[in-house]
Structure 1
Amino acid sequence: MVLITTFSKLEVSILRYYIVQAVQFGRKDKLTEFFGIYGNDLLQSGQDWTPWFAIPYLKNPSLDPQFRVYFSREWFDALHLSFRNFLSEIFNGTHILQQKLCLMF
């Protein structure tokens, strides 16, 4: 259950990272495509996605107080570390499960 909750939080952060990267590389076409494909699901997800739909229309979203943190190196580093820890937990859990199964047989 903890891994599912963690996965959901990571999914949101990774999607937001995608948006930030599209902004930084000037790919408004990718933002339009992204929101066109995932927009309805994002709005229904219960996360606070509504402000993110404005990003393609902001002159400099990295300076906007609501989005500034997502453009910081610290936020990316925290996301990177969280993702690595999540994968480590999954692989360690798989290894432990394999050990237990081997002991049973």
Structure 2
Amino acid sequence: MLEALSKLEGSVLRCYIVHALQSGRKDKVVEFFGINGNDLLLKSSSDWTPWFAIPYLKNPSLDPQFRVYFSKEWYEALRLSLRNFFSEIFNVTHIL
């Protein structure tokens, strides 16, 4: 469960970065890495390393390494995964 949560967290953070770039807010991506960069590198070693370059790429949505994260299919898969995760959590949690 903890590993699934960690993967979802990483995907949500990537979604934030992609959304910021699509909205023309590279400044928010740079700010994000300034605040969270050390933690990301410590948590997941080299998994995040290429992402530090993304605000400086001219067209990150065309880059083979990042293209998938800009697709509607990836976003929808993330949305479904989050929905299923929360559904699972709420199904095992009893509200008193």
TM-score by length of 2: 0.94
1:68 maps to 67
CA RMSD in angstroms, aligned pairs only? 1.4
Paired-residue identity, %: 72
Which one of 21, 26, 29 corresponds to residue 28 of structure 1? 26
Q: Distance in 2 between matches of 1:76 and 1:52?
A: 17
Unaligned 5+ runs, structure 1: none
- Runs of 4+ residues deviating >4 angstroms: none
Q: Distance in 1 between matches of 2:44 and 2:5?
A: 15
TM-score by length of 1: 0.86
Q: Distance in 2 between matches of 1:5 and 1:32?
A: 27
Q: Distance in 2 between matches of 1:59 and 1:29?
A: 14
Pairs aligned (count): 95
Q: Distance in 2 between matches of 1:70 and 1:5?
A: 20
Say whether 1:84 aligns with 2:76. no
Say whether 1:17 aligns with 2:15. yes
List per-residue Cα deviations over 1:7-59 (Å, max 9, x = no partner).
Answer: 11100000000000011011011011100000000111125000000001000
Q: Distance in 2 between matches of 1:29 and 1:66?
A: 21
Structure whose CA Rg is larger: 1
Unaligned 5+ runs, structure 2: none
